[in-house]
Structure 1
Amino acid sequence: MLDDLSRYLGSESNRELVLTQLVQHVPLALLPLVVGVVLAIPLGWLAQRHPLVRTALLGSANVVYTVPSLAFFVVIPGIIGTQILDPVNVVAALSIYTAALLVRPVVDALDAVPAHVVAAATAMGYRPLRRFLAVELPLAVPVLVAGVRVASVSNISLASVGALLGVGGLGALFTSGFQTSYLPPILVGIVLTLVLALVMDLVLVGLRWLLTPWARAGGTR
């Protein structure tokens, strides 16, 4: 097994192929994460403030996330008018998945903001939008980032399914390995997927650390 893996990675053409597929995989997985966060925050804000919206959005999000990813990738072109092999389909589908997955963590994060802090900001003259951006959202970061970490791992995994539509990414290593009954590319794909997920998780932990200076200050006392 190790000899096969060594021979596979010893080929310059294979290394270039793996690097190309890794480079293709990163935007397929991470761009939807950014779009999903941008969509989920205002949706979660509305849901947290209006009970009827909360029930409707959380129920809809649960339904959306149960749709099989491959089926979603195939349906999206008919909705947005793209070709079925266009990577935009994967990005669009994963963005919807991410938003659906993050709506509840956003609501939970905002629910976790102490009520007396919100009341104090209101008493100081903060209007709802300013209060949300300056007080509630920053304090919600720890809970929100926990949800984003789950979504990032999910996206990195689901982006591999896009290879079945011919859009590249690390999933192409899986399909080529299965088609040829050759294990090394499958192992390389698995390892790189795990490494990418770990790196992204560490980045998000670091981002949370940077965005919560009050937590660092409290920890040094």
Structure 2
Amino acid sequence: MSTRAVLEVIALDAEDAVAAQAGGADRLEVVTDMAADGLTPPAATVAAIRAAVDIPLRVMLRLAGGFAAGEVGLLVDAVHRMRGAGASEFVLGFLDAHGGVDMYAVERVVAELDGCPWTFHRAIDRAADRDALRKQLDGLPGLDTYLTAGAAAGVDDGLPTLVAEAARQGEPGYEQQILVGGGLQLEHVPRLREAGIDAFHIGGAARSAGWAGVVSVSAVAEWRRVLDAD
């Protein structure tokens, strides 16, 4: 019997968070500025969401669009602000100019997390070598999840890669949970579940009016229904 799938929903504010939880989300990814694909939110937003819901939330550590780390000292400051606002789980991922993982930036930030769980986000989909990236990150404290579409263009293109990586689960560099997101649609779910993938991430798909609107309880509930039925 398959395990209950994790459903993670992007929340921009407390209203989103309450709706996502009501619809059946298991976890939130908390960000701001989706025009830049999600940046570190204000500490006040994190505190308000933490007070409004009781499901886990993962807070984005990303200062600007793209996948360069930027000023690492500012990232460290962001960690302290987010932890002060009640965050205890995080999302991050930085690449260098050649598409390799920026280990200096990642290790500096992870040291400040002090063992908190974290997700390496879709920077993996822009990496020059996904396998090398996974093996470089292997063993870093707290890393338990990769958020990935399998390809930069999204899940439609990345399905074969996702299925192949799921088949390697448990190998060195592949112990972490695969959290599928990025152009994810309901019709992708059966094949992904068949491959053994049990974590799914939605943003725009949780909003009946797209990013112009708030999270829809009914939209999240439909995802919950499909995941629970599969």
TM-score bin (small chain): under 0.3
Normalised by the length of structure 1, the TM-score is: 0.24
Larger Rg: 1
Higher strand share: 2
Higher relative contact order (CA 8 A, sep 6+): 1
TM-score (norm 2): 0.23
Q: Which has the higher helix share?
A: 1
